Structure 1
């Protein structure tokens, strides 16, 4: 610039905005939270009338610890849905809730008592329950603040709690519906039992870990029916990994379609328990693996045995006639056919103890086998059981007790042990104590899922199972569809629901049994609607603790029945019944619930197919006649960056609080949006930093728009039909995106929504449209071109901020408030703007796709010149562009192609391109020859043009001279 040339910088329309490049999210997000609370956004949204409700029913987290990354994933996904459905025009209500009863909290109080040297059993039950309640209340307050910090919208002022008095009342009422409709019964059957916690467990309360078990091969000697088999002396061999169940054996099952053979041992390892010459009966397909397992080094097959020859054979129990056995095991052990017997593992015979396994129990029911009660609540043998009295299967500290080893020794002593070894396998453990669990026969309360429900709600089936399976197929939309298959197969094969727990903190089973009556008697259970209503009223006023007060039975009986004739039940309900009942006291009873008591959506992790989705389905089908939800969405688990399960002991956990403090909640939300939630999601420092980089690129896009719209007014607005084609192309893209965004949010495809918007913002806008239009925005005067471009920016602003608001909750609020500074304004109070369908212009889009391809060849050619320092900027160039396609060439001539390429000049020709011209392999018929622009550099717009210096303002081109006036 010459000394006498003016500095035109102040005459440019450079972007102006207070929107900072650095987000400062950790510091600023709490300010927006406070503001949202102050202006009452959630309540203001509820004031919008005439909207169709959308209810996402919250699966209650457990109130017993700080949030982990899985909680964050779950609640953020829910928030995406609630916010997007609201902005799609629905009344999207969201009532957060908490699961408050149950073993985990009770266990924490017991741990506290143990540390203080107190005995739980000596503490009055109501006092104990009050401590549990206080513990839950404390964690609810903590978790509520942690959820709110993630930007989760909802009715935080009035959440639902399963321990609220009304909730406890409704849970009891739902239970009493089962009492009255005939599906409740008391039965004695094997259930998952935690010896450490001394209670039955639901499948959802069990987790599987590697465990090393004893495995034994045991001889059962025939005592009758042996004449059907051509051998003088042989043993039927069973295999089990639970030697402690042998004292409870009542039968041996065989497979009716399995081929069996007699095998003589001819050679053994020195440490083998097998003996040379003995003959054993085995499935042919398993004989070799059995012999290897028991260290038999050589054997021979000596005879065939047909499966039907085994039916009716009687065996002796391995402990029959044992010393000090007192005749305990001197009974017959029948051989019975069993469809559950396979050739996948074992010996082809299954040791059957009806008290300790479901298959065994079913066989017992079919053939009238005796149930045993040898195992007490702490997994010790009953005190009067010969030989094994008092021995534990699982010790009080959760480690292995002496029962297994004692049985193995006794088998060896009784010459029943054919072999032994150790086996590492997946085994069920209590998710709370982490100790192994056992199957144990105990009296429990069940909901019969195959019995006709006597309630007149038979539209979808007469039994709970029928209603559930019909609901799954006819009433529920599954996202992803695989969720349907998983829940269907689980419910199709599941046994009756064990409702009772032998604990203190929960809603009691509000029922009474007749003294002296048997569970099979017709009058065993008291079914009295008047008494039930009194119980419900007491719970509503005083909570479930009132069940444990002196004189409660007499009070609610009144004159309806004689209290002396009945015993009160003091087991508590499975907490999954609590959470399964939430449809009644949240969806049905709350004014912000659903009119029909049915949610539009339940959303949880894949583990809830056996948890909340499952229990809610069973519970509602038993009391409501159908599923309590119209849709179910499931997400995967969170893993570390290497794909490993997170563990505090490994040190690979990611705490939501840490991410919020270092990067901000919007970065965590963006991680969720960028991920495929239908599979397991990985997270770690590198991944979060990558997400933060994407965020910065998007933030810069929004910042550019804000700066360019600084003084935009309605008088600047230009009608679409008057706009240049490039602006009309942007409107076309917005019309396309409007469909993508609405469809994506409707189908819960957040990854698809964000990818489409991010690619549009960073590729179509920042790298293309903004790059091209910077010149007009900065340098033009009041031209149609500049007005049109700013009108498009305003249209872009209103859509990108709202479309992204459900995901980047805090950032889009910040962006919105830069332009809408009026009191009470918020992006979260508006809907997605309507986008005119007639903005779509496929012909124009096709034309500009061709133009853009040619531009890509030009910019690539110029990049080489810049890299080789031939030019410093593209405005120093005036390339020659050879275009073979006549239609594309004509299209190029209708636009200012040099402006699109950000060059000072350009020459278009259909001549044959020189051999050394620049080309791109993937774009045929386009070549570029570099040439420098001629003329002087405009000191205002920096284009190099021949007319610079020939106008009234020194050192500028004609366009800039006109802008300067």
Structure 2
């Protein structure tokens, strides 16, 4: 029976056999209606408690553990498309491993401390005209806690709506009392093993938020900065009165200048100014020392119209040279800058831009700081927490570098004016460049020298966990190299390079909402004194127990220091540290209070998978690696899986201002969560992905095609029972070929799920369903399903394979399309307490594999394409309406292929009423396909009459007891 001929149309005679054919019958709807129906399945899964039912199943069997540890999202807003991508990938990983025989547990979690939440509460205060600093710290922290709790509740429901299966009744929160106790306890391990120290160095600092920021809390945006070229006059040496010229984009750092650096590998020369524009501040006759490669750019910037190169300056002549600070001797400076500015070598100096000399302020830059350490330069403390100069700084006291609204303050312009007044300003301008901003306030940040608490990642550890090294850095690098698998593999080098080159870990933040640095410092001692920090195991235990009972808020209550130090030390001799821990330390510690401490954690405290976005190589992956290396001696994970960022259809970054964002809730409302999940499965998530209306429409079309395949199977399997099942050995070749393909696909699906390659799973299954099933096997076997007698071997084989196919397709697709596969499963096996998600992937016998048979059927299908293409030509020309009107002659020049085609019912495969295979030469004009050169097709009409039951045109129609039927249909009618 042809796929393109409707069975139920009216036959051409009085005989009507419509009620005698076995048409597909299923209540499974063609239209999914996912937005309306998915909540019903969510309620059903909650009622039968699928998550805990799987845990019970694991306890009663011997299933290996599999733990994906959830990187905690931030509890401060509705979900965006990145959240949906992230959580769906995690859910597919967990569900697929569960169905491959593991006990795959998933504990969702939230990051609850830190600046984003604190900033929101401060915004509420500012809107009311209140000052956060006037509010009791504990009261303020309680408001932060309530804010986080509210968003945890909102996000939990939004995640569940995506179909994410997990322990939603018992998630982990970094603000839970036990979590806060363990975070503090993990910190105190750094205190006790000697890795904790207080130092002074420049860190990324947000004047708007008044706190240090980690690199992961900084994002880069285009920003307009002042740029200046400044003369430094030599006080000694052989530079013959020439000025050394520096270039900087941060004029506000000039008061903190303590050196000028050069690169011994750069060629420098003296240049005399011969002529200059009237607006130029260059002086005719003055001599400038510049890098040869940058002299022309300086000439242009300074509006110098003529300049003569006087000769090269050997870098050896810079050694021992002292320069005058531009503000030396300035009126009102009170001698603040009357010191020597040394010229120092530095490999960080390049010829990429500037002058070849680098103004060096050790308190305001990483390279500058390293030079300061090497040459023992003094650190300055001229900039306050709010981004203003200290009030007693001459000339500039109290001026703001950045205002509290994030806009530029007067400090830059004031410095430029002072440089001009001092005769040191050679040129000025503006530059548009990428500049660091806080990812919360979106305001620019600065490098600022402040006392901070650090973890020394190269400190030698004597903790008995030295299998992978005796420092945090060594253990982290060894973990990356030997213990962790990265998907994609490029993640290994990325994380390795970051760890290999990173400085010590800045642990402290000057904020209120977080876990405090639970330590005490001895008054009157320097940070370098061995007794500066109070190290006492009993004290640590008291703090941990107090946090376990009442949370970290107790640190800020009156009398807490005295209570903790009672009997251990004199409280009057110690200061209580009031900084809070970097939130990355919170999330980096989750392995301790989730993987180690929870019953549903990991038995060895190591997660099988950490999975987050690529930005987490510098974030959660990184902090967890450092924290784990310090406290358990290795990385707390075995696999690191990363996804890219989600872009719009044009490849643009999503932005509310551009109006190109895609909200998960809106996609679900239009299409349903399963279509959104299918988009995730279709994409290569390891790179950046695109999403938008057109892409989602295409995804919905793929979903409909899959759904139609499943619907056909359900209809064809109506009333199938075990009595009908046929042994594999008795099946026709085509069914055994389908079983071969199932065995191949089973291996592929499992490998791809284990390798976290969901696009590989989807493409394999989608192509199988649309090309090999719907367009071939289903199309061919419709005739047997509809018209063969119920006990015919061919029909029984088809339905047996259909049943085997059903159990595999529904479970293979369940991790990706949990709602739809539940619908499919229950449509066939209705039950009050069953679920497709309570089943594993069906075990597929390797004995089904038959490579020789597969090779034969690949050749047969290739030949079939030539025949179907030839028939399509005749259909287009309206010579025939249905392929059943044809009885082509197929001319085959390959004897082996001819043998194959004659060994099967090739007419049945081509859905023609008859077909002849011959090795005779093809006549002139026979149809041929270039890709099937050994086959040519001669079109012929089928002789005979049309069977009114199966619609084949055969010579024997009309010669049997049932009118207008062929022999097969006559026998089926009995």
TM over 0.5: same fold? Answer: yes
Find the counterpart in structure 2 of residue 141 from structure 1: 153
Find the counterpart in structure 1 of residue 845 from structure 2: 836
- After superposition, residues 10-409 of structure 1 pair within 5 angstroms as 10-47=19-56, 48=58, 49-225=61-237, 227=238, 229=239, 231=240, 233-409=241-417
1:915 maps to which of 920, 924, 931: 924
How far residue 456 of structure 1 moved from its aligned partner, in angstroms, is: 2.5
- Residues 169-227 of structure 1, C-alpha deviations (whole Å, 9 max, x = no match): 000000000000000011111000000000000111100000010010100000012x3
3-state DSSP of counterpart to 2:230: strand
CA distance in 2, matches of 1:357, 1:892: 77
3-state DSSP of counterpart to 1:178: helix
Find the counterpart in structure 1 of residue 636 from structure 2: 628
- 8 Å CA contact 1:286, 1:346 repeated in 2: yes
- Residues 77-112 of structure 1, C-alpha deviations (whole Å, 9 max, x = no match): 001100001111111111000000000000110111
Structure 1 residues 164, 959: CA separation in 2 closer, same or farther (over 3 Å shift)? same
How far residue 2 of structure 1 moved from its aligned partner, in angstroms, is: 8.2
Alignment pair present for 1:896 and 2:905: yes
CA distance in 2, matches of 1:304, 1:720: 89
3-state DSSP of counterpart to 2:454: strand
- 8 Å CA contact 2:11, 2:948 repeated in 1: no
- Residues 228-259 of structure 1, C-alpha deviations (whole Å, 9 max, x = no match): x4x3x210001100000000001111112222
- 8 Å CA contact 2:68, 2:90 repeated in 1: yes
3-state DSSP of counterpart to 1:446: strand
Find the counterpart in structure 2 of residue 863 from structure 1: 872
- What root-mean-square deviation, in Å, do the aligned CA atoms of Structure 1 and Structure 2 show? 1.0
- 8 Å CA contact 2:184, 2:517 repeated in 1: yes
- 8 Å CA contact 1:182, 1:454 repeated in 2: no
CA distance in 1, matches of 2:96, 2:739: 22
2:752 maps to which of 732, 744, 768: 744
Alignment pair present for 1:518 and 2:530: no
- After superposition, residues 804-815 of structure 1 pair within 5 angstroms as 804-815=813-824
Greater shift after overlay, 566-575 or 259-268?
259-268
- 8 Å CA contact 1:125, 1:548 repeated in 2: yes
Find the counterpart in structure 2 of residue 801 from structure 1: 810
- 8 Å CA contact 1:5, 1:955 repeated in 2: no
How far residue 288 of structure 1 moved from its aligned partner, in angstroms, is: 1.6
Find the counterpart in structure 2 of residue 424 from structure 1: 432
- 8 Å CA contact 2:91, 2:164 repeated in 1: yes
Alignment pair present for 1:936 and 2:931: no
1:659 maps to which of 658, 661, 667: 667
Find the counterpart in structure 2 of residue 697 from structure 1: 705
3-state DSSP of counterpart to 1:369: coil
3-state DSSP of counterpart to 2:363: helix
3-state DSSP of counterpart to 1:320: coil
1:589 maps to which of 597, 600, 607: 597
Find the counterpart in structure 1 of residue 6 from structure 2: none
3-state DSSP of counterpart to 1:955: coil
Instruction: Give the count of matched residue pairs.
Output: 961
CA distance in 2, matches of 1:4, 1:309: 111
- Residues 547-587 of structure 1, C-alpha deviations (whole Å, 9 max, x = no match): 11111111111211111111111110000000000000000
Greater shift after overlay, 617-626 or 203-212?
617-626
- Residues 679-731 of structure 1, C-alpha deviations (whole Å, 9 max, x = no match): 10000000000000000001000000000001100001001110000101100
CA distance in 2, matches of 1:461, 1:888: 64
3-state DSSP of counterpart to 1:506: coil
Structure 1 residues 2, 74: CA separation in 2 closer, same or farther (over 3 Å shift)? closer
- 8 Å CA contact 2:648, 2:690 repeated in 1: yes
Find the counterpart in structure 2 of residue 820 from structure 1: 829
- Residues 732-759 of structure 1, C-alpha deviations (whole Å, 9 max, x = no match): 1111101110111111111011100000
How far residue 4 of structure 1 moved from its aligned partner, in angstroms, is: 6.9
How far residue 879 of structure 1 moved from its aligned partner, in angstroms, is: 0.8
CA distance in 1, matches of 2:232, 2:806: 81
- 8 Å CA contact 2:520, 2:574 repeated in 1: yes
How far residue 294 of structure 1 moved from its aligned partner, in angstroms, is: 1.8
- After superposition, residues 429-828 of structure 1 pair within 5 angstroms as 429-781=437-789, 782-828=791-837
3-state DSSP of counterpart to 2:368: helix
CA distance in 1, matches of 2:206, 2:712: 61
3-state DSSP of counterpart to 1:881: strand
Find the counterpart in structure 2 of residue 874 from structure 1: 883
CA distance in 2, matches of 1:636, 1:870: 53
How far residue 823 of structure 1 moved from its aligned partner, in angstroms, is: 2.4
How far residue 822 of structure 1 moved from its aligned partner, in angstroms, is: 2.4
How far residue 949 of structure 1 moved from its aligned partner, in angstroms, is: 1.1
How far residue 665 of structure 1 moved from its aligned partner, in angstroms, is: 0.4
Alignment pair present for 1:848 and 2:857: yes
CA distance in 1, matches of 2:774, 2:622: 48
Find the counterpart in structure 1 of residue 970 from structure 2: 961
CA distance in 2, matches of 1:300, 1:92: 75
Gaps of at least 5 residues in structure 1 are none
How far residue 298 of structure 1 moved from its aligned partner, in angstroms, is: 1.8
- 8 Å CA contact 1:5, 1:954 repeated in 2: no
CA distance in 1, matches of 2:354, 2:496: 30
Greater shift after overlay, 841-850 or 10-19?
841-850
- Residues 28-49 of structure 1, C-alpha deviations (whole Å, 9 max, x = no match): 1110011011101110111223
- Residues 513-554 of structure 1, C-alpha deviations (whole Å, 9 max, x = no match): 011111111110000100100000000000000111111111
CA distance in 2, matches of 1:837, 1:422: 70
- Residues 248-297 of structure 1, C-alpha deviations (whole Å, 9 max, x = no match): 00111111222211111112222222111110111122212221222222
How far residue 434 of structure 1 moved from its aligned partner, in angstroms, is: 0.7
- 8 Å CA contact 2:333, 2:395 repeated in 1: yes
CA distance in 1, matches of 2:593, 2:215: 25
CA distance in 2, matches of 1:937, 1:631: 63
- Residues 773-796 of structure 1, C-alpha deviations (whole Å, 9 max, x = no match): 000000000200000000010011
CA distance in 1, matches of 2:464, 2:317: 49
Structure 1 residues 2, 913: CA separation in 2 closer, same or farther (over 3 Å shift)? closer
- 8 Å CA contact 1:374, 1:381 repeated in 2: yes
CA distance in 2, matches of 1:626, 1:291: 55
3-state DSSP of counterpart to 2:235: strand
- 8 Å CA contact 2:12, 2:948 repeated in 1: no
CA distance in 2, matches of 1:910, 1:4: 39
How far residue 346 of structure 1 moved from its aligned partner, in angstroms, is: 1.4
CA distance in 2, matches of 1:414, 1:488: 48
CA distance in 1, matches of 2:636, 2:894: 61
Using the size of structure 1 for normalisation, the TM-score is 0.99
